[in-house]
């Protein structure tokens, strides 16, 4: 279980941070809405690696997130956090929204990223881009009509199921309440940041580190075509599918995710 998180000063903000275990550093970039979605994976990696787990601006105990949201700013925060911790480079993993942040980090701060793992990256710029943008427009409309917390409840019920509170609180006590408390950041900062994120094949060509793309076999129609997008952007990437997992693979299948991640990290260990 995660112990107390401590504030780390990064570019005028404080990011609540915990470092678990020892060994090669692994930075888990937190995704949108659920601040501790990657905690189950962190706990499974800490016996082999030094795992950096933090909350982005606007989440948990970190400083508020300024408007407008920015994928590049989140990437810069990750680079600044690693520098503040004295970590020159790390294996970097992002899931969903934070896969975009991890990609941007590999472009803007290439020396920081030893390997890059993209778990269920978002479908922006892919074959389902228009449908994804339409779905997000509906989500933001719901936020305006009902308020952030109620809209987040409805969103999580649709995407994770009616027992989403039990699932999140099983990850870390209080995670469900935290998701609702942080939901304004999700709707007002992260969603616009992702939809406004500019990234294409030319930008992706700047990614030189080893890349692993992990997908869930049951991630739903909005994410169809993401594998082709990743192959087009990053032809050197390894691709793995976890059977029976959905878009929330990090929450529901952390053991399977660990089992595909660790061999990849071992193959690309320094020296």
Q: How many Å apart are CA 46 and CA 52, to the nearest integer?
A: 9
- The 10 Å CB-count burial string (b at 16+, else e) for 39-78 is bbbbbbbbebbbbbbbbbbbbbbbbebeeebbbbbbbbbb
- pTM of this prediction exceeds 0.85: yes
Give 6-267's CATH code, choosing from 3.40.50.620, 3.40.50.2030, 2.60.120.560, 3.40.50.1820.
3.40.50.1820
Closest-CA residue to 226 (of 100, 37, 138): 100
214 neighbors 250 (Cβ within 8 angstroms): no
The DSSP output letter for 110 is: G
pLDDT at 2: 67
Q: pLDDT per position in the chain (271 positions), as tens?
A: 566 899 999 999 999 999 999 999 999 999 999 999 999 999 999 999 999 999 999 999 999 999 999 999 999 999 999 999 999 999 999 999 999 999 999 999 999 999 999 999 999 999 999 999 999 999 999 999 999 999 999 999 998 899 999 999 988 889 999 999 999 999 999 999 999 999 999 999 999 999 999 999 999 999 999 999 999 999 999 999 999 999 999 999 999 999 999 999 999 998 7
d(CA 124, CA 175): 27
SS3 content of the chain, % helix, strand, coil (to 5): 45, 20, 35
C-beta of residue 134 within 8 angstroms of C-beta of residue 246: no
């Amino acid at each position: 279980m995660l112990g107390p998180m401590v504030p780390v000063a990064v570019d005028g903000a404080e990011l609540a941070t915990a470092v678990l275990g020892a060994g090669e550093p692994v930075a888990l970039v937190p995704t949108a809405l659920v601040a501790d979605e990657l905690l189950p994976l962190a706990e499974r990696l800490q016996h082999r690696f030094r795992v950096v787990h933090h909350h982005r601006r606007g989440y948990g105990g970190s400083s508020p997130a300024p408007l407008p949201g920015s994928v590049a700013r989140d990437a810069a925060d990750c680079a600044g956090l690693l520098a503040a911790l004295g970590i020159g480079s790390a294996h970097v993993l992002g899931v969903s929204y934070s896969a975009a942040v991890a990609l941007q980090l590999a472009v803007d701060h290439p020396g920081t990223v030893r390997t890059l793992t993209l778990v269920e990256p978002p479908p922006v710029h892919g074959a389902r881009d228009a449908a994804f943008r339409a779905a997000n427009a509906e989500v933001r409309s719901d936020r305006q009509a009902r308020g952030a917390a109620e809209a987040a409840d409805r969103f999580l019920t649709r995407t994770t199921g009616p027992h989403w509170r039990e699932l999140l609180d099983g990850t870390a006590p209080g995670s469900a309440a935290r998701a609702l408390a942080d939901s304004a950041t999700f709707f007002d900062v992260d969603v616009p940041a992702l939809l406004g994120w500019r990234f294409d094949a030319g930008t992706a060509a700047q990614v030189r580190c080893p890349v692993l793309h992990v997908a869930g076999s049951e991630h739903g129609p909005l994410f169809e075509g993401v594998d082709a997008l990743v192959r087009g952007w990053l032809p050197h990437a390894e691709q793995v599918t976890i059977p029976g997992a959905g878009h929330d693979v990090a929450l529901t299948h952390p053991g399977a995710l660990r089992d595909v991640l660790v061999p990849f990290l071992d193959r690309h260990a320094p020296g």
